[in-house]
Amino acid sequence: MDFMETSNGALHYEYLPCSNAKGTLVFVNSLGTDYRIWDAPVGALQSEYSIVRYDKRMHGLSSHCHRPYPMEEHIKDLKELLQALQIEKAIICGLSVGGMIAQGLAFSDPEQVGALILCDTGHKIGTRELWQDRIKQVEAEGLSSMMDAVMERWFTKEFRKSSNPLYSGCRAMFERQDPMGYSATCAAIRDADYSDARALIKVPTLCVVGDHDLATPESLVRELADGIPNSEFALIKNAGHIPCVEAPEIFTDILTDFLNKRLS
């Protein structure tokens, strides 16, 4: 296990350098998960790209900050991690809130971003009321109280079978996240709005979403793509909010095709 101390505490990360790499891919995880959601694409791409993945603040093994933690602080964490690893430019692939962190880095430090892969995310996710209700429920009843509702947003009915060990593992991963970290990240999403700023993104960008995503649906991700100049959009059939887990081969093929076309 590798940890890096930032100005806000330790981040748990993995760095897999590749000789003769086409570039460096950085993966940023979603709300209620840790960096293991990227296992499949990392395994498929690490022979061609250097890889960085990390548990965003207050998730997985990264340390907690017992105070409000806005999106700007999540972006700062990513900047400090790249600086510590001496990575001057990277391809940032973020899922859900990870996609908002990726967008934020592209706005605040465009020279550090070579391309963006924005997965199941948006320029503005949900409403203030939605996130306030989510925060209240977590604080009053814990994460287990919303388990089934979250899993319905994350995965298709076909995937959500008790006989599927990967699904059982994802349920355990969600339930073992820290409720305070989860609610603080909900607040960061609540307060972030990149509706105007997305037009400033100038790097090659792919927006991708599962067709059964109930958290950030196809219409939202298409709207995000429409607001980013010269971006591409891809729809993954029979997948929910986390296609890198539910449809890893298709997800990885889409990423590979985009990178080969736009960065060659």
What's the mean per-residue pLDDT of the chain? 96
Beta-bridged to residue 54, according to DSSP, are: 13, 28
- Helix/strand/coil (H/E/C) assignment for every residue in 146-211: HHHHHHHHHCCCCCCCCCCHHHHHHHHHHHCCCHHHHHHHHHHHHHCCCCCHHHHCCCCEEEEEEC
Q: How confident is the model at residue 10 (pLDDT cuts 50, 70, 90)?
A: very high
For 50-64, what is the mean pLDDT? 96
Q: What is the CA radius of gyration of the chain?
A: 17
Distance from C-alpha of 76 to C-alpha of 83, rounded to nearest angstrom:
10
pLDDT at 264: 67
Output phi, psi for 129, to 5 deg.
-65, -40
Q: Is the CA virtual torsion 215, 221, 227, 228 positive or negative? A: positive
pTM check: above 0.95 = yes
CATH of the domain at 163: 3.40.50.1820
Q: How confident is the model at residue 213 (pLDDT cuts 50, 70, 90)?
A: very high
| pLDDT per residue as tens digits for the range 84-96 | 999 999 999 999 9
Distance from C-alpha of 203 to C-alpha of 189, rounded to nearest angstrom:
23
For 163-188, what is the mean pLDDT? 96
Distance from C-alpha of 262 to C-alpha of 264, rounded to nearest angstrom:
6
Question: Residue 67: is its pLDDT beyond 80?
Answer: no
Burial 69-78 (b: 16+ CB within 10 A, else e): bebebbbbbb
pLDDT at 263: 78
Find out whether 189 and 92 touch, Cβ atoms under 8 Å. Answer: no
Q: Strand, coil or helix: what is 96? A: coil
- Strands 24-28, 50-54: parallel, antiparallel or unpaired by DSSP? parallel
Question: Residue 22: is its pLDDT beyond 80?
Answer: yes
Distance from C-alpha of 65 to C-alpha of 57, rounded to nearest angstrom:
8
Find out whether 260 and 234 touch, Cβ atoms under 8 Å. Answer: no
Range of the domain at 88: 2-262
Find out whether 95 and 242 touch, Cβ atoms under 8 Å. Answer: yes
Find out whether 263 and 45 touch, Cβ atoms under 8 Å. Answer: no
Distance from C-alpha of 189 to C-alpha of 126, rounded to nearest angstrom:
8
Question: Residue 66: is its pLDDT beyond 80?
Answer: no
Alpha helices (runs of H) in the chain, residue ranges in sequence order: 39-45, 71-84, 97-108, 128-141, 147-154, 165-175, 179-191, 218-226, 243-246, 248-262
Question: Residue 262: is its pLDDT beyond 90?
Answer: no
Number of structural domains (the chain) is: 1
Distance from C-alpha of 14 to C-alpha of 176, rounded to nearest angstrom:
20
